[in-house]
Amino acid sequence: MSESISRRGLLKIAAGTAAAGAGTAALSGCSTIESMMGSDEGGSSDAFSIVSGKASLPAAKGPRVVVVGGGWSGLTMAKYLKRYYDKLDIVLVEKNSLFMSCPISNIWLAGAVDTDFLLHSYDDAAKNNGYIFFNATVINADRENRVVYTDQGSIDYDYLIVAPGIDYNYASIGVNPEQEFMLRKKFPAGFMPGSEHLTLKGKLEDFEGGVFIQTVPKGNYRCLPGPYERTCLIAEYMKREKIKGKVILLDQNPDITIKAEGFHHAFDNLYKDYVQYIPGVNITGVDPEKQQVIAETDGFKDTYDFADAAIYPSVRGAKLIEIMGLTKEGSQMEADIDPFTYQAKGDEHVYVTGDARPMGYSKSGNTSNSEAHYVAKVVAYHAQGKELPTWESPQTICFSAVKTEPLESIMVDAKYKYDGRTLAGFTDVTLKEKWTPAMGQGNIAWAEGMFNDMFR
Ligand SMILES: Cc1cc2nc3c(=O)[nH]c(=O)nc-3n(C[C@H](O)[C@H](O)[C@H](O)COP(=O)(O)OP(=O)(O)OC[C@H]3O[C@@H](n4cnc5c(N)ncnc54)[C@H](O)[C@@H]3O)c2cc1C
């Protein structure tokens, strides 16, 4: 247990965690949490001693950097921090024991790559790159005393990198908590790593016909082209399997948000009888029991019945950001950081990277990976007392498959102009909206390159 934090202090942290998780103001008393965690002050088996006791880890051999979240950002940070300062001691904390990629998962959904292509070993990544992988869920941090709490014990840090990605904001589509629970279980969005993708694949394999609804959220959501790519590949699957069905894509934006020409062309030409694209839809409710989406378009109320669905609400920064007191006011509950150094406002030992950032970059894997290459340098230089590097724009390279037999894709490649307050536009943009087999191969080669960069 950290010498510097008392049991009462930790209980307050736990209380804050519960309060933030419930979306309410701070809890007034700690007694409920205390009783939940066990009341035996000196006992070694109660929940308190597990969370506050030291995690079973080797002693730090240099300034310790704890990276929270083994996604595209955290994996890249963990690897490259050491490249820029080899004395750093890196611990990557991730709640899942196995990495499953979101990128390429739509192609996998359509059966064009095996599951193995998406799965990677955290232990191998750590071994190959000289850091520690710690399989645990981060609960909170005591930033004053630089301790991070996990369900497997606490870890002292010199630097904390928080890269937990996103959570869904179901309130954005007007559902109550019970409906949210049912939607998560029965009609998941499939935009977070893990079992949602497996559920979605099962749905497709069992689909017997009728309407399959997909929704596109408002705001800066994860993977702008993802819902459109998935629409193409589900439509292709229905066409191939001769299923009497169609995808209705309810878009809460006025038009396709990226690669619009390419996707419109695919919907109209490849999948005319299988895709109905409806833009400008304001979703006001979803009834998971009746299997209906309730929406307004141009002031008119519509109800869409579905046989099956993947309902994608707006996204927010992962709840851990809020729990740690890092939220930026006025953002999609993303982190309050300096946009050039990624340092948390008022805390030079904490950085937030990846899709939990507030800057309006595309929330994509390539963006997170290229950004982490730069932020790793910032943290390593800070730890060595060196002048910080000049800002480097993240890069968004994003392929989207429109068909899989053979695999053919469209793509965009862009960097950002950023003035510190708002996005000042894009630069170095390449947009290829005519699909070809060569681009399909480029799509797979891109993913292999990224996996090599994070795991080898
Ligand atoms: C279907 C789909 C297709 C996509 N296609 C592309 C594409 O073609 N190209 C592209 O560039 N991007 C694509 N993306 C987007 C890309 O996956 C994300 O933008 C990227 O994963 C963001 O990286 P991240 O590290 O911020 O978050 P994530 O990759 O989500 O990683 C966050 C990690 O933190 C962990 N975590 C969260 N909370 C805790 C906690 N409390 N304790 C411990 N661990 C925690 C999570 O388990 C997760 O592993 C796609 C996404 C989806 C869903």
Per-residue HEC secondary structure of 36-72 comes to: HHCCCCCCCCCHHHHHHCECCCCCCCCCEEEEECCCH
117 to each of 20, 72, 100, 218, 416, how far by Cα in Å? 37, 15, 9, 31, 30
300 and 193 in a common domain: yes
247 and 186 in a common domain: yes
Q: Which of 351, 368, 369, 402 to mutate to test the pocket of ligand 1 (most atoms within 8 A of CB)?
A: 368
> How many structural domains compose the chain?
3
3-state helix, strand, coil in the chain (%, to 5): 35, 30, 35
Within-domain flag for 416: no
Query: How many whole angstroms from 193 Cα to the centroid of ligand 1?
Result: 6
CATH of residue 181's domain is 3.50.50.60
Within-domain flag for 162: yes
Residues in the chain: 456
67 C-beta neighbours (distance < 10 Å), count:
33
284 and 156 in a common domain: no
Angle at 353 between CA 419 and CA 157, to 5 degrees: 125
- SS3 readout for 211-243: EEEEEECCCCCECCCHHHHHHHHHHHHHHHCCC
Within-domain flag for 232: yes
Within-domain flag for 393: no
Within-domain flag for 46: yes
Q: What is the pLDDT of residue 418?
A: 79
363 and 294 in a common domain: no
Q: What is the pLDDT of residue 250?
A: 98
Please choose, from the candidates 141, 119, 138, 121, the residue with its C-alpha nearest in 3D space to the C-alpha of residue 129. 121
Question: Ligand 1 pocket by C-beta < 6 Å: which residues?
Answer: 68-74, 93-96, 102-103, 105-106, 137-138, 163-165, 190-191, 193, 222-223, 226, 318, 320, 354-355, 363-366, 368, 398-399
| Spatial separation of the C-alpha atoms in residues 400 and 262, rounded to whole Å | 10
Q: Which of the residues in the chain have pLDDT under 70? A: 1-45, 420, 422-423
283 and 204 in a common domain: yes
Q: What is the pLDDT of residue 11?
A: 52
178 and 143 in a common domain: no
Q: What is the pLDDT of residue 13?
A: 53
14 and 46 in a common domain: yes
Within-domain flag for 427: no
3-class state of residue 4 by DSSP: coil
163 and 94 in a common domain: yes
Q: Which domain holds residue 342?
A: 61-167+317-383
177 and 85 in a common domain: no
The pLDDT tens digits of the residues spanning 145-203 come to 999 999 999 999 999 999 999 999 999 999 999 999 999 999 999 999 889 999 999 99
Report which DSSP code applies to 410.
Answer: E
Residues 6+ apart with CB under 8 A from 207: 238, 243, 245, 307, 308
118 and 162 in a common domain: yes
Q: How many percent of the chain have pLDDT more than 90?
A: 86
| Spatial separation of the C-alpha atoms in residues 319 and 208, rounded to whole Å | 37
Beta bridge partners, 329, equal none
Last residue of a domain, one of 313, 329, 344: 313
Last residue of a domain, one of 313, 341, 366: 313
298 and 200 in a common domain: yes
298 and 260 in a common domain: yes
